[in-house]
Structure 1
Amino acid sequence: MTEKFSLSGALSPNARPVGFSGAPRLTISILTKNSADRLEPLLAQLSWLADQIVVGVDAESADDTAEIAARWADDVFTFRHDGQMAAARMMIFDYAVGDWILVVDDDESLEPAFATLLPELMSRAGATHFWFPRKWIVNEAPCEFAFSLPWHPDWQMRLFRNDRSLVWKPARPHSGYHVLGPGFQEPRASILHFEPVWCSPLDRQRKLERYHAAGAAIENDAQYPDRIGGPRRPAEGFVKMAHDPRRSGGAVVHAEVRDAFLASGTSWGMQVLEVDMPAEAKAGTRVIARVRVRNTGGLAWFPDWSKRGAQLGFSPHVRDAEGGMVIWDCERTLVMDITVPGGEAIFVCAFHVPDLAGEYQIEWDMVSERECWFGSSQPGPPILTPLTVTESIAPPSVEAEVEAIAEEPKADAAGLDADRAFLALIHDRIPGWLDDYVALRTMELMRWQSEKGVEGAALEIGIYAGLYFSVLLREVAPRGGMVLGLDTFERVDEEVVRQNLAAVGLGTGFAFLRGPSVVHDVASLVLRLEGPVRFISIDGSHLVEDVSHDLLISGALLAEGGIIACDDFLNPVRLGVSQAVNAHLALGAGLVAFAYIQNKLFLCHKSVHRDLFEATLRMCAADPVGPTGALFAQNARLDPQRNQTRLHGWDVVVAP
């Protein structure tokens, strides 16, 4: 392939990221089949943007697709597959010479704004990938796109660094590339998707059937109705142009027909180098281990900074003396630094040992949540560290705990009176739904955090009119923290919320971020939050996929000792919340429940679960006021077990 003209060549040397000897170069990747009627105009448009164009042609193409690609692209290869395209999509790394890769489908086009944006984006230091909105074209004359969900904004992750250690493609249709590291959304340029007008309804239905046969998620069906209705907006349409005359004609055609039958496996790998752990521990306690490991896989380890990256954790398994599995899911230690392939990392982890005395073996492993355990694909036997577990003093019974709580001094009456006066004020000035009992426990839990040295910011996803937000703000702002509110502000205008807060004396110490939570990832929120996040309230969209996203980013943002409050858990008309929360807790990825109080499920890290569980038990027992408090006090006298339960293996205080 010869050197090609690049628009990024006009970039100022001062704007180029460290490590590049010149302007970043761009490779554009296209996989296609039977596209002879539309491929040539697309390649002409892309010729002005790319340093290199690589086209992969499906071996079953029956028209002149391969010949057109050979005439206008730079590299052309042919592949055969069995319906899964993951392996074929990863083949771009065998041909790309650019610093970045931009992926375009053969039924798409790019808005002209890409010409000026791409050099800027590729020069952004630290970024590994970018997302762009996609417009589904529903009419060509005049050109219009569907301006409604799920067809817009339909964010697509298409631009990423040419670094195989950052990128992989799961073996399922429509899963997209997954990229590690910081990713950003770029709304200034959109991808135009002509599939609705270029494909007949029958062709679209057949495409959907192929997706189902290959294992595509059912939620994709919503984008393929018989007719796309709803509001429309003007679009720029397909911009036809001549090929860039500065580009040399003719491609390097790779004659081999490559097999893409095998799913593209994720290249995770870990080797244990050194373990420092006590040889003995008492039953039911926690033990600390310092483990030095090497990244032996092809992918780097990154913190969970992106919407479609990997949530990586270090976690041991506990086996008995004969090698039988005793505890598979132990506590996770999240990956919080970057380790490149071949590099080393140190994990200092804490985990619970078995409740029964005996001889055990600790197997060290890592996990990519919802994907795989590293050890399942590693050759050879696992590294096992022996651990002797000795008898321990039996924990106090529930009845003994309740008796001890009853003997403790009751909550400060003056403090509770002041809190109740504040709640009366906000109920008078701010509309919404919030019971005093759960609001009081929230304030007490946040004061417990302050006593333990847990400070920082708070975040509420879905603030409505600001009622619960005002509770968080009252506790955080006086201690120098800020509260970030994330909402679409479609039901209550942002200015009205500001007026509500000012009416109760809370006019400062907060910021708002407009839009649905799913358009934000950990990296973008970290930039807005000033320090660690001590308390997060999740009360936005109640759709299962949105709540799942909110839980993932909340878990990544939460400080040690932090608390998450999930609203509408077990609400029969908000079942998506319960489904998402239970699915997340079942992963054992680090968050566990410690209290369920009046429709809110409170979560924390495993390391502080016992402390928060016992603290909440004391708080509830100390306040018998109101129906919930009276019932809790009655249960404490007659049947203490009714005040607690277990959820996914962890004790939970119950005050419904």
Structure 2
Amino acid sequence: MDARVENYIRRGRFYVDGWLRSEAAQVVVALTERQRSLGIAGGIAEIGVHHGKLFILLYLLAQASEKAVAIDLFEDQHLNIDNSGSGDLAKFRRNLERHADNKRLVLHQGNSMDLTGAILTRLADGPLRFVSVDGGHTAEIAAHDVATAESAIAEGGIIIVDDVFNEQWPGVGDGVRRYFERRPNLVPFAIGANKTYFCRPSHRDIYHDAAAAAASTATATEFLGQPVAFLQFLRPGLKDRVAESSAWRHLRTTPIGLPLRWAWHTGRTLRRGLSRNEDF
């Protein structure tokens, strides 16, 4: 994994307001690497960038020749009818420049309901490799944004839709189902960490396996009449996170680290003894 990508996932993204679990970030990385191995190229885009949390990751994963299209209402928040986000152009630019650069950035400020696949393709200088849909959360807007993304992706392209199963935003799932009543050339292949992943039927099995490999476990289920992987992730506890940190590896055998290790193990032994169901 590229050092800038790893640094952003581990540290940088926590300084950007938005919604991106580390598990979803790992899946995006795994899918991008699979696309690279298949020779799939094209720009990236996000409808509804907010302050750039996911967009920055997609930008860092893109090649120098791939445009990155950011679509948001930004300062036109009076058009944000469901208050599902709060795009801020100044904060977005500042975050992007802090964690990446803006050399390949293409900004499109406006209502995504006025956007078409042809316009999106033109903004990206060709079909797109990866599109995130996280704009308005009404059924009408979600259905329209998925349609726009579907008509703009390349063969082998991937669409991520946020909040499809989020009970706070039932309009998103409703909109996705409405769109699929048209029987598009698109299928879901994975669900996990509040993201739902779609691609062309030709690449479903390949991406299904790549996403499943990035998860702790993957359960076979169905969505929209198609087989998908339900991705589950085991989050390490505090002890495991500390043990894996570079700071602790340097500290553990020092005069500071040794008594800390003794205190931890002694405390664990005492806790185990006190928790036994025995008669005294």
| Conserved? CA contact 2:4–2:60, under 8 Å | no
What letter is aligned with 2:176? Answer: V
Deviation at 1:417, TM superposition (A): 8.0
1:512 is aligned to 107
Structure with a larger share of its residues in strand: 1
Gaps of 5+ in 1: 1-414, 621-628, 633-641
Deviations 1:157-216 (CA, angstroms, capped at 9, x unpaired): xxxxxxxxxxxxxxxxxxxxxxxxxxxxxxxxxxxxxxxxxxxxxxxxxxxxxxxxxxxx
| Conserved? CA contact 2:187–2:200, under 8 Å | yes
Any residues of structure 2 matched to 1:423-572 within 5 Å, and which? Answer: 423-476=9-62, 478-489=63-74, 490=77, 491-572=86-167
2:239 is aligned to none
Q: Secondary structure at the match of 2:101?
A: coil
1:144 is aligned to none
What letter is aligned with 1:422? Answer: Y
1:647 and 2:223 aligned: yes
Output the aligned Cα RMSD.
Answer: 1.8
Q: Secondary structure at the match of 1:577?
A: helix
| Conserved? CA contact 2:5–2:57, under 8 Å | no
Mark the CA change 1:421 to 1:524 in structure 2 (over 3 Å): closer, same or farther.
closer
Cα distance between partner residues in 2 of 1:522 and 1:603: 16
Deviation at 1:648, TM superposition (A): 2.4
Q: Secondary structure at the match of 1:615?
A: helix
Deviations 1:377-428 (CA, angstroms, capped at 9, x unpaired): xxxxxxxxxxxxxxxxxxxxxxxxxxxxxxxxxxxxxx39874432133224
1:45 is aligned to none
Deviation at 1:535, TM superposition (A): 0.6
1:86 is aligned to none
Cα distance between partner residues in 2 of 1:418 and 1:509: 16
Cα distance between partner residues in 2 of 1:527 and 1:539: 20
Structure with a larger share of its residues in helix: 2
Deviation at 1:650, TM superposition (A): 1.8
Mark the CA change 1:507 to 1:417 in structure 2 (over 3 Å): closer, same or farther.
closer
Cα distance between partner residues in 2 of 1:420 and 1:429: 15
Q: Would you say how many aligned residue pairs link Structure 1 and Structure 2?
A: 222
Deviations 1:419-462 (CA, angstroms, capped at 9, x unpaired): 44321332243111211010111011012111101101011000
| Conserved? CA contact 2:118–2:151, under 8 Å | no
Cα distance between partner residues in 2 of 1:614 and 1:418: 26
Mark the CA change 1:453 to 1:518 in structure 2 (over 3 Å): closer, same or farther.
same
What letter is aligned with 2:33? Answer: R
What letter is aligned with 1:487? Answer: D
Deviations 1:501-524 (CA, angstroms, capped at 9, x unpaired): 111133321111001100122232
Mark the CA change 1:418 to 1:466 in structure 2 (over 3 Å): closer, same or farther.
closer
Q: Secondary structure at the match of 1:427?
A: helix
Deviations 1:565-610 (CA, angstroms, capped at 9, x unpaired): 0000110011010011122234322111000011110000111111
Any residues of structure 2 matched to 1:282-321 within 5 Å, and which? Answer: none
Gaps of 5+ in 2: 78-85, 233-280
Q: Secondary structure at the match of 1:454?
A: coil
Mark the CA change 1:424 to 1:618 in structure 2 (over 3 Å): closer, same or farther.
closer
1:119 is aligned to none
Deviation at 1:618, TM superposition (A): 2.2
What letter is aligned with 1:461? Answer: I
2:245 is aligned to none
Cα distance between partner residues in 2 of 1:585 and 1:426: 36
What letter is aligned with 1:652? Answer: V
Mark the CA change 1:455 to 1:572 in structure 2 (over 3 Å): closer, same or farther.
same
**TM-score between both structures, scaled by the size of structure 2:** 0.74
Mark the CA change 1:502 to 1:425 in structure 2 (over 3 Å): closer, same or farther.
farther
What letter is aligned with 1:421? Answer: N
